[in-house]
Amino acid sequence: MELVTTKELSVLWGISARRIAVLCEENRIKGALKKGKTWLIPKNVDKPYDERHKRITGTIEDYKKIESRYNVIYPDSPNATYTSLLNYSDDLNKPFQRWYRYKEGYSVELVEQLINEYCCKKKGVILDPFSGSGSTLLAAKEMGYSSVGFEVNPFSFFLAQCKLDTYDKELIDQFKKSYESILENAEKCEIEYKLPKLSISEKVFEKNIERYYMTICYLIDAEKSIDIKVKKLLKLGWLACLEPLSNYRKAGNGLKIKKYARPRILTIEDAKIMLLEQYQNIYIDLLKNKDFENINLINDSCMNMNKYLKNNSVDGIIFSPPYANCFDYTEIYKLELWFGGFVHEYADLKKLRCKSLHSHLNGNLNPEVESRSEFLSILVDKLSEKKLWDKKIPKMLKLYYDDMFNVIDQCYEALNINGFCSIVVGNSAYGGIVFPADLILAQYAESIGFKVDKIEIDRYIITSSQQYEITKDAGKYLRESVICLVKNK
Ligand SMILES: C[S@@+](CC[C@H](N)C(=O)[O-])C[C@H]1O[C@@H](n2cnc3c(N)ncnc32)[C@H](O)[C@@H]1O
């Protein structure tokens, strides 16, 4: 009788090695035996039938049945605690968070609340695999926890790095002197400048603003005697004013030309005031910055987390991944990426897109993956029969969930026993079919050994009346939730 490991069997069965280990522990695989820490299983043994997936056909009854397995807290329940904390807008006036309006971020208060509720230790390590603007790490720092973060987008990484660095008095003074001198000299300066190779570069600013804005950048780069951390802060303040000074605004999955009832006339003086206010806010917050060394921010995909993290080395994980809604962060942040010098050629942008989670249609959608969720497979099969605005959507969803399952696997490995993992996620809908990410991910996490403590729904996603009509009963599953998981064994 040939024996195989959980890893080898996972390829044959199309479910994760961790799930197979759980099935072995539950005595559900005939002939499985444990040697040390390794399970050995007869290669030809029958795959156990998964009771949880009995008669799933993708109807609204299935959503209800799956949801009924969990402790689901609705926004109007007296037990709802996170409602309104998912939104970054409350943080716009908060120290450090106001350095850049990262509208996909959540509030520092949400992170504090989750740590207080779930972290068993007063000191420990908090991980965020999708750190974005660094809200999780910032809250962890404020509370005295060490932290690790992964972020694939170099602009977001740069933003979080600036917010989390430590600055002594000398650096803070240097920063103030530098921005005051740059703003004073910029108007008088005559320089030659080149715009990035982005196709819309010429249309980003009105010409007077473009010249002034690019002169500031030139002067920042020309500051040879200042510390690199100060230079980065100057660049960040400058980048934070890019969108407000430009002719574009972030809207949905991309940029739209700003429209005004009356033509907007922006003067150099307006631009100067905007930059000065931005720099002054940074300066005021720097005076409150805490000396804290134990932050490890990594500019890499969280798909590679296991290369950096030891098993059982973190105490809590809090994150919000990109949602499966076709938003491409490299598209939304393309002005910052090009003007900030994080990409120089379209090939650089393409590489970034391929490294990001499969939440959009611009990455590499070629890989073939085995589905690890029967519920998801049924929904994707139903979707494949529909007429969609892009026929690659079913493939994107398969890859998105495969990425997310890999992230959950790696989170499980990285966590200590009794560690917690909180995922802020939004559900999405295509062709009238709702993909309930909160239920699909909770089900998967449970299958690999996590306890699903609760799913708290923060808000319902408001859709167009047309979308509302086609999603009908399933419409109430279009929502943003926090999935709270605990690793018990
Ligand atoms: C919803 S945002 C996170 C916001 C963050 N919680 C905050 O408060 O700022 C998701 C982030 O995941 C990043 N991302 C996408 N794919 C990634 C990957 N494979 N690895 C790491 N980060 C990724 C995006 O660039 C984006 O910044």
CA distance 159 to 297: 11
CA distance 88 to 109: 10
Task: Please tell me the CATH superfamily of domain 53-154+293-329+345-487, with its number.
Answer: Vaccinia Virus protein VP39 (3.40.50.150)
Q: Which residues lie below 8 Å from residue 466, measured CB to CB, with a gap of 6+?
A: none
For residue 364, is pLDDT > 60?
yes
422-447 mean pLDDT: 95
Tens of pLDDT, residue by residue over 31-74, are 889 888 888 999 888 887 665 555 556 788 889 999 999 999 99
pLDDT attached to residue 463? 63
* Nearest alpha-carbon partner for 409 in 375, 453, 441: 441
Ligand 1 centroid to residue 133 C-alpha, Å = 8
Tens of pLDDT, residue by residue over 261-278, are 777 789 999 999 999 999
Cβ(104) – ligand 1 distance below 6 Å: yes
Q: Which residues lie below 8 Å from residue 428, measured CB to CB, with a gap of 6+?
A: 323, 324, 325, 434, 435, 437, 478
Say which residue the tokens 């005559």 belong to.
Answer: 190
Domain boundaries, the chain: 3-49, 53-154+293-329+345-487, 169-286
- Mutate-to-test residue for ligand 1 from 112, 133, 152, highest number of ligand atoms within 8 A of CB: 152
Range with lowest mean pLDDT among 99-113, 373-387, 467-481: 467-481
Ligand 1 centroid to residue 132 C-alpha, Å = 4
pLDDT attached to residue 70? 97
Cβ(133) – ligand 1 distance below 6 Å: yes
- Mutate-to-test residue for ligand 1 from 92, 98, 112, 356, highest number of ligand atoms within 8 A of CB: 356
Say which residue the tokens 């980048």 belong to.
Answer: 239
Which parts of 223-322 fold into alpha helices (H)? 228-240, 242-245, 268-286, 305-308
Residue 147's CB is within 10 A of a number of other CB atoms, namely 27
Cβ(422) – ligand 1 distance below 6 Å: no
Cβ(406) – ligand 1 distance below 6 Å: no
Ligand 1 centroid to residue 302 C-alpha, Å = 9
For residue 89, is pLDDT > 80?
no
Cβ(420) – ligand 1 distance below 6 Å: no
CA distance 212 to 202: 14
Residue 407's CB is within 10 A of a number of other CB atoms, namely 24
Tens of pLDDT, residue by residue over 216-242, are 999 999 988 999 999 999 999 999 999
CA distance 76 to 4: 50
For residue 389, is pLDDT > 80?
yes
Cβ(330) – ligand 1 distance below 6 Å: no
Cβ(10) – ligand 1 distance below 6 Å: no
Q: Which carries the bigger pLDDT value, residue 315 or residue 462?
A: 315
Supply 233's token pair.
């802060």
DSSP string, 141-164: HHTT-EEEEE---HHHHHHHHHHH
Q: What does DSSP say about strands 146-150 and 125-128: parallel, antiparallel, or unpaired?
A: parallel
